[in-house]
Amino acid sequence: MKHQTLWIYSYARRYFKAMVFYTVLGFVGVGVSLFISWVSKDLVDIITGHNAGKVISTFALMVGLNIGMTIMNMITDYFASYISMKVDAEIKSDIFEKILVTDWESLTNYHTGDLLTRWSSDASNISSGVLSFIPNALISIVRFVSTFIMIIYHDWTFAVFTFLSLPVSLLLSRTLMRRMVNNNKRSAAMSAKLSGFNQETFSNIQTIKAFSLISLYVGRLKQLQKEYITMRLDFKRMSIWTSLLLTTMGLIVSYSAYAWGIFRVWSGAISYGTMTMFLGLSGSLTGTLNSITSLVPNAIGLTTSAGRLMDIVEMPREDYSDDDRVGEFLKEHSADGIGVELSDVSYAYNNGNLVFEGASMAAAPGEIVALVGPSGEGKTTMLRLILSLMKTGDGQGVIKSGDDTMPLTPATRRLFSYVPQGNTMFSGTIAENMRNVKPDATDDEIRDALSLACALEFVEKLPLGINSEIKERGGGFSEGQAQRLSIARALLRKSPILLLDEATSALDVATERRVLKNIMHDDYPRACIVTTHRPTVLQACSRVYAIKDKKFVVLDEDGIKKLIDDF
């Protein structure tokens, strides 16, 4: 908890002024509330003493104070909401950025639904805690101390009743602490499980329908809901028993204080107005004391959320320190083109499965280089190594222009355009998707890229052309059309190196050849690496690498011809 608390503090100190402002408003509220109690006492004494001369002025003061208190509460609530939303947005933005620059291979150990839960729910817990936990603790302590002093000033005997509930509160806090840690972890894990299930289900509705899995997935959802309800009812039972004990203790304290107040009034020790003030303040003290003791379970909930976020944001970060150097490399060599070269690269998955051992390959500007091999032999893995999404074991990869080289790092991704397997289009218009990679692209530049990818022919037939909407996951377009749009987006970026990972698998042979021919004859000095299962592509390639014995072997014409004949 100490480590998690320090991590929360690293955020809290950024919002010191907001916390001070919120705390000061709380202190003012405490002062006005106590003054209202004092005036209320005077008003009761004036009425019971039949002092008609002060009734109107005291009553007017009482009404004015309550109206002022109401207005101040509204202002406080408004500013608290504003600050809370601002802090929430800033913290989520910061966590979002940190997740995006986290080492990709480490990040894949977490389910997307779990990441979403941690980013949304846990980040919101931190943002609300940063703003409210310390200020509310200070406000509660000030309220308790000032109220206690006010009671002692008028009659110290009433202060005894304040502490009648303290042993119960402390005991409950100790019990709740143990339960809260376990419950928070269970709740977070269950929320992540539900979120992940929903996210995967909605993303794969087509598959669920195609395999008639509707009843299966409905049943799974009901089972998850049953587990969630069971868990929440367990929490609710604990909450009911806790609330019952606190309420019972509160009633005992209140009625004891009420009885003692009647006795003190009856004996003439205090006035009736003082007694009513004491009863109100006693209830306020008890509630404030319970609020202070409840800060412990709240702190546990806060640190639990912090721990879940720390699991993510404290994973290894990608290093972009050489970004400026990459920019200079691009500026210096963009006219001549930039290629990529890997030498004696080895890589093994976390489970120890060796994928490459001493593998070498190269792609120069103006070349289309193919990587071929059976499914699961490492073609996509090699592209991820080139993009520095994964780290090589031995060997090295470099970008290269002439004799000038630079190691492959996360910063060198700016030199690549990547079209992965599957549908990678975002919801929005075609033009918006294109401008994701080049925000200042003109309509003509977009059309030129679409033309190179053989996509302009169907885009121009759409009523709104490049301003036509693309639904989620490329909805509204065939797989072949979505692939061509993805290729056009990659070409628009005009990166020196283009990576196509089975990016033409949904195209017919003729269209596939046209796309590759357009890339080959484009004036831009681009190096292109293609992974494919379709040997028909190979005739358009400058060089073909086959994966054999965890290495890359350059195929000669006979080898390429054999691949085509055997397809």
Element (H, E) at 429: strand 428-429
Confidence class for position 447, pLDDT limits 50, 70, 90: very high
Q: Which tokens in the block code for residue 197? A: 């299930």
Indicate where the chain has its CATH 3.40.50.300 domain(s). 324-566
Asked if residue 286 has pLDDT above 80, the reply is no
Q: What is the pLDDT of residue 430?
A: 92
What is the enclosing helix (H) or strand (E) of 274?
Answer: helix 272-293
Among the CATH numbers 3.40.1000.10, 3.40.50.300, 1.10.3720.10, 3.90.550.10, which is that of 324-566? 3.40.50.300
Q: What is the pLDDT of residues 488-501, one digit of tens each?
A: 999 998 889 999 88
**What confidence category does residue 136 fall into, taking pLDDT thresholds of 50, 70 and 90?**
confident
Specify the CATH number of the domain 2-313. 1.20.1560.10
* pLDDT surpasses 90 at 36: no
Structure tokens at 403: 């004799």
Rounded CA gap, 362 and 408, in Å? Answer: 13
Please tell me the predicted confidence (pLDDT) of residue 341: 93
Sheet bearing 551-554, strands edge to edge: 416-419, 497-501, 527-531, 368-372, 543-548, 551-554
Which of the 8 DSSP states describes residue 118? I
Indicate whether 451 pLDDT > 90. Answer: yes
Residues 69-111 pLDDT 10s: 788 778 877 877 777 787 788 888 888 888 888 888 888 888 7
399 band by pLDDT with thresholds 50, 70 and 90: very high
396 three-state secondary structure: strand
* Dihedral of the alpha carbons of 153, 154, 159, 162, in degrees to the nearest 10: -110
- Every domain range in the chain assigned CATH 1.20.1560.10: 2-313
- Rounded-to-integer distance, Cα 45 and Cα 365, Å: 94
61/82 Cα distance (integer angstroms): 31
Q: From CA 66, how far away is CA 62, in angstroms rounded?
A: 6
Secondary structure (3-state) at 408: coil
Res 250: pLDDT:
64
What average pLDDT does the structure give for the chain?
81
Spell out the residues 6+ positions from residue 472 whose beta carbon is closer than 8 angstroms to its own: 427
Of 123-137, 505-519, 541-555, the poorest mean pLDDT is in 123-137
Tell me the DSSP string of 134-153: HHHHHHHHHHHHHHHHHHHH
Secondary element (H or E) of residue 362? strand 354-363
Average pLDDT over residues 184-213: 77
Residues 506, 483 contacting (CB under 8 angstroms): yes
361 beta partners: 342
Does residue 457 sit in helix, strand or coil?
helix
If pLDDT is split at 50, 70 and 90, which confidence band does 164 have?
Answer: low
pLDDT at 146: 81
In DSSP notation, 51-109 reads: -HHHHHHHHHHHHHHHHHHHHHHHHHHHHHHHHHHHHHHHHHHHHHHHHHTB-HHHHTT
Do residues 290 and 379 touch, judged by C-beta distance below 8 A? no
Using 50, 70 and 90 to split pLDDT, how confident is the model at 344?
A: very high
- pLDDT reading at 256 higher than 80: no
Q: How many other CB atoms sit within 10 Å of the CB of residue 75? A: 11
Task: Please determine, for residue 132, whether its predicted confidence score (pLDDT) is greater than 90.
Answer: no
Q: Span 522-543, mean pLDDT?
A: 81
Strands 497-501 and 416-419, how do they pair?
Answer: parallel
Give mean pLDDT, residues 256-269.
75
Confidence of residue 50 (pLDDT cuts 50, 70, 90): low
The torsion of the CA quartet 191, 197, 198, 204, rounded to 10 degrees, works out to: 160
The answer to whether 435 and 485 have CB atoms below 8 angstroms apart is no
In this structure, the number of other CB atoms found within 10 A of the CB of residue 306 comes to 24
Dihedral (Cα; 463, 469, 472, 478), 10-degree rounding: 30
Average pLDDT over residues 103-123: 81
The confidence band for 135, taking pLDDT boundaries of 50, 70 and 90, is: confident
- pLDDT at 144 (0 to 100): 79
pLDDT digits (tens, 9 = 90+) for 459-473: 999 999 999 998 877
Mean pLDDT of 361-371: 90
Count of residues making up the chain = 567
Identity of the amino acid at 33: S
Q: What share of the chain is helix, strand, coil (3-state, %, to 5)?
A: 70, 10, 20
In sequence order, what are the residues at sequence separation of 6 or more whose Cβ sits closer than 8 angstroms to the Cβ of residue 379? 371, 372, 373, 501, 531, 547
Say what the pTM is: 0.71
Contact 303, 5 (CB under 8 A): yes
Q: How far is CA 251 from the centre of its chain?
A: 44
Report the distance separating Cα 279 and Cα 299, nearest Å. 31
Q: Tell me, what's the pLDDT at 53?
A: 62
Per-residue exposure over 489-512, b if at least 16 CB sit within 10 Å of its own CB, e if not: bbbbbbbbbbbbbbbbbbbeeebb
Q: Which residues of 167-183 are buried (b: 16+ CB within 10 A; e: fewer)?
A: ebbeebbeebeeebbeb
